[in-house]
Amino acid sequence: MKQTSVTTNAPCWVELGTDDPPAARTFYTELFGWRPDSDVRPEAEGYTRMFLGEAAAAAVGPRNAPQQPTAWTVAFAVADADAAAARVEAAGGALRKEPTDVPDHGRFSVAADPSGAVFILWQGRGFEGAGVFNEPGSLGWVELATRDAAGATAFYPAVFGWSVAPGEHYTQWGLDGQDFGGMLVMDDRFPPEVPPHWLPYFSVADADNTVSRAVGMGADVLMPAVSMEGGRRIAVLRDAQGAVFGIYRDGDAP
34 pLDDT exceeds 80? Answer: yes
Q: Is the pLDDT at 41 greater than 60, yes or no?
A: no
The answer to whether residues 232 and 218 touch, using CB atoms and an 8 Å cutoff, is no
pLDDT band at residue 231 under the 50/70/90 scheme: confident
The tens digit of pLDDT for each residue in 150-179 reads 999 999 999 999 999 998 889 999 998 889
Where are the extended beta strands (E) located within the chain?
A: 11-18, 35-38, 48-52, 55-62, 71-77, 94-102, 106-112, 118-124, 139-146, 163-166, 171-175, 178-185, 197-203, 220-227, 233-238, 244-249
Which distant-in-sequence residues (6+ apart) come within 8 Å of 97 by Cβ?
A: 108, 109, 110
Average pLDDT on 196-205 reads: 98
Q: Phi and psi of 73, rounded to 5°?
A: -125, 130
* Average model confidence (pLDDT) across the chain: 93
**d(C-alpha 251, C-alpha 237), whole Å:** 20
For residue 62, list its beta bridge partners: 18
Q: Is the per-residue pLDDT at 253 higher than 60?
A: no
* Predicted local confidence at residue 168, as pLDDT: 80
Question: What pLDDT is attached to residue 206?
Answer: 97
Output the pLDDT for position 64.
Answer: 80
Residue 148's alpha-carbon distances to 113, 118, 143, in angstroms, are 10, 14, 14
Report the alpha-carbon distance of residue 222 to residue 236 in Å, rounded.
5
Residue type, 98: E
Q: What is the pLDDT of residues 74-88, one digit of tens each?
A: 999 999 999 999 999
**Does domain 11-124 correspond to CATH entry 3.10.180.10?**
yes
**Distance between CA atoms of residues 254 and 238, nearest Å:** 27
- Lowest average pLDDT, out of 57-66, 192-201, 232-241, goes to 57-66
Is the pLDDT assigned to residue 43 strictly greater than 70? Answer: no
Q: What are the residues facing 197 on neighbouring strands?
A: 145
- Starting at the earlier edge strand, list the strands of the sheet with 220-227: 163-166, 171-175, 178-185, 139-146, 197-203, 244-249, 233-238, 220-227
Torsions phi, psi for 200 (to 5 deg): -85, 145
Query: What pLDDT is recorded for position 1?
Result: 56
254 pLDDT tier (thresholds 50, 70, 90): very low
Cα distance between residue 187 and residue 195, in whole Å: 12
Angle at CA of residue 167, ends 161 and 172, nearest 5°? 35
At 95-134, the pLDDT tens digits run 999 999 998 899 999 999 999 999 999 999 999 999 999 9
Contact indicator for 165, 172 with CB cutoff of 8 Å: yes
